[in-house]
Amino acid sequence: MKTNYINGEQDRRIECLENHIATLNNEMGEVKIAVSGIKTDVNWLKKSYWVIATASIGALMGAIINLLLK
C-alpha cells in the first residue's frame, strides 16, 4: 500500500521552529553565564565596604580619644 505524503509546508515550518528553539537554548545559556558573572562581580563592593567601615570606626575611636585627652 503506497501513500502519497504531501505535507512539505508543515515539515518546513517544523524544521524552522526546531531551528528557533535551538537558537533560543543557546542564547539562554549565554544569559545564564552573563548573570553568573554579575553575581561574582560584586566583590569590589564588599572590599570597599570594609575600607569605609574601617575608616569610619578608626575616625570614631580617634575622636573619642581626642575628647578624653582634652
| pLDDT digits 0-9 by tens, 6-38 | 677 788 888 888 888 888 888 888 888 777 776
Among the listed residues 24, 6, 26, the one whose alpha carbon sits nearest the alpha carbon of residue 16:
24
Q: Is the pTM of this model over 0.75?
A: no
Cell numbers given for 38 = 554579575
Phi, psi of 6 (to 5 degrees): -125, 85
What is the distance between the alpha carbons of residues 13 and 4, in angstroms, rounded to a whole number?
19
- Would the pLDDT of 44 be above 90? no
Amino acid letter, residue 43:
N
Residue 1: pLDDT band with limits 50, 70, 90: very low
